[in-house]
């Protein structure tokens, strides 16, 4: 077997493998995109819930009865819980967006490698045909 044919088969094998990897990465990217959209919506909902909470306006002056103080403490705890939930949702959203961007970069790098292998394979096949026709 000639070196030229060997290189053509190696490039073809790599092209087939990289094609599968590129398709897999594209699917991961689309999945990451969907996940980030869900996290963005979740973060927005948590922010709206925290902003709409009436406990945000709890009274800071001394309250008359024990019941008023307990109600204010419950409202404050609930508001703090909502703020923590919103903060956690924001962090999850940031992580999901970063993951999506990583998947996107990885896809484009792999796609560039795939394109390079396609061009190399085409050049090797064209050169081979020219050599066969010259015989």
Question: How many other CB atoms sit within 10 Å of the CB of residue 29?
Answer: 20
Report pLDDT for 30: 96
DSSP string, 119-133: HHHHHHHHHHHHHHH
Report pLDDT for 20: 95
pLDDT value of residue 100? 95
> How confident is the model over 88-108, as a mean pLDDT?
95
- Return phi, psi of residue 27, to 5°: -65, -40
The tens digit of pLDDT for each residue in 75-96 reads: 888 888 999 999 999 999 999 9
pLDDT of residue 67: 78
The pLDDT value recorded for residue 1 is 60
Indicate if the pLDDT at residue 60 is higher than 60.
no
Give the Å distances, CA to CA, from 29 to 14, 33, 79.
Answer: 22, 6, 36
- Rg of the chain, C-alpha, whole Å: 29
Cβ pair 110, 22 in contact under 8 A: yes
The fold for domain 3-134 equals Helix Hairpins (1.10.287)
Domain ranges of the chain: 3-134
Phi, psi of 53 (to 5 degrees): -70, 125
Helix or strand (DSSP H, E) at 80: helix 66-134
Residues whose CB falls within 8 Å of the CB of residue 93, separated by 6 or more in sequence, listed in order? 36, 39, 40, 42, 43
Supply the pLDDT for residue 105. 97
Residue 62 has a pLDDT of: 61
């Amino acid at each position: 077997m000639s070196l030229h044919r060997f290189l053509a088969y190696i490039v073809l094998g790599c092209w087939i493998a990289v094609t599968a990897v590129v398709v897999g990465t594209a699917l991961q990217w689309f999945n990451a995109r969907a996940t980030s959209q869900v996290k963005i919506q979740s973060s927005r909902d948590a922010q709206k819930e925290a902003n709409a909470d009436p406990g945000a306006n709890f009274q800071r002056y001394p309250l008359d009865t024990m019941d008023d103080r307990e109600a204010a403490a419950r409202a404050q705890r609930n508001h703090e819980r909502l703020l923590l939930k919103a903060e956690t949702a924001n962090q999850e959203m940031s992580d999901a967006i970063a993951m999506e961007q990583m998947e996107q970069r990885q896809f484009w790098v792999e796609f560039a490698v795939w394109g390079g292998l396609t061009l190399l394979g085409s050049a090797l096949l064209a050169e081979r045909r020219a050599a066969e026709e010259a015989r």
